[in-house]
Amino acid sequence: MAVEAITDANFKEKTAKGLVVTDFWATWCGPCKMQSPVLDAMSDEEAFQDVTFNKVDVDDNKETAAEFGIRAIPTLVITKDGEVVDRLTGFHDKGQMADILQKYR
């Protein structure tokens, strides 16, 4: 399963069900460029098939970024059935992400 780019228009629909990691990022952000391959790899692994991975470009989707008070990127917002359960700012490696996601399964 690939990481899907979502927008202001479909954010609520795409994060309403299940365990979802949404990466708030921008094309000019160095740490975002490090985070993206980690999430891409995790989305392809069998162990994380129950998790949906999304990306929101903060420059193109200012409404959703403002709604979540995104002030630093990358920020990863983890939701379960549409409710925010965790929020992480900065780069997180695969091991850190796996440990965090395990808490919400």
Is 91's pLDDT higher than 80? yes
User: pTM (2 decimals)?
Assistant: 0.95
* Catalytic residue of the set 3, 20, 21, 32: 32
Active site residue 32: yes
Q: What is the pLDDT of residues 34-48, one digit of tens each?
A: 999 999 999 999 999
Q: Which of 29, 85, 88, 100 is catalytic?
A: 29
The SS3 call for residue 63 is helix
Return the pLDDT at 19.
Answer: 98
CA neighbor of 37 nearest in space, from 90, 86, 93: 93
pLDDT band at 2 (very low <50, low <70, confident <90, very high): confident
Q: For the residues 67-72, what does the mean pLDDT come to?
A: 97
